Structure 1
């Protein structure tokens, strides 16, 4: 099954053709690298896939749904996210709290629940904490969970 497909994807900045007719198909479970010299458009490809830049033309399919041109928060909700080379963590928070923050885009409780800190809020926060600890265990970082990040 094709998980991600780009068809003739282009991204232009004025007269600069940063990416021209890029095509690829990535299957579920496949490990793929995108290599090339500086200025070849590698970062631009990722920025277009994740919705940071809209494609000038072409199509981007994720799980057979056209996501080209969707805002980045909608693409994140579908499960495509990225990180940057210069990660800016919250230094006053713990390692665990920094990971929990990444889960907040998937919360379902209302703003009112968050303000009142009702049962819905506490249930989702507890679930996020459990998932964050599972990640820390997976990467053998669980002993640092209370350390400042």
Structure 2
């Protein structure tokens, strides 16, 4: 996306549908030991969550009404690590999820005239927050590119 262009948000309905479809699709990955929730992490136990970064936005519009869009998201893994091995395992799990998401076919069925084209990992997993109770949040950031037909 060109940083000089004005960001045009897609509809809330589109963002909500993509969130639901993507959440179900991510939960089909067999490499995780936890169910991925939407925008929720428990405070004192391990958990994983899908979090939208800014909602879906339109990157290119066509004369006849079709358009291309992106949905930026992250998956957060909260844990209470007892060792460096636990921290590394959390990052390895998120990286494996990202690798799976970039190669798994078919991509999520978005419905509503939207078709998923690809998923890209924008980052590898890393810790982004540590809390007073010893919990840590690790994250991986990704983008889903789609078209509206």
> Is TM (by shorter chain) over 0.5?
no
TM-score (normalizing by structure 1): 0.26
Higher-Rg structure is: 1
Structure number with higher relative contact order (C-alpha < 8 Å, ≥ 6 residues apart): 2
TM-score (normalizing by structure 2): 0.26
The structure in which a higher percent of residues are strand is 2
The structure in which a higher percent of residues are helix is 1
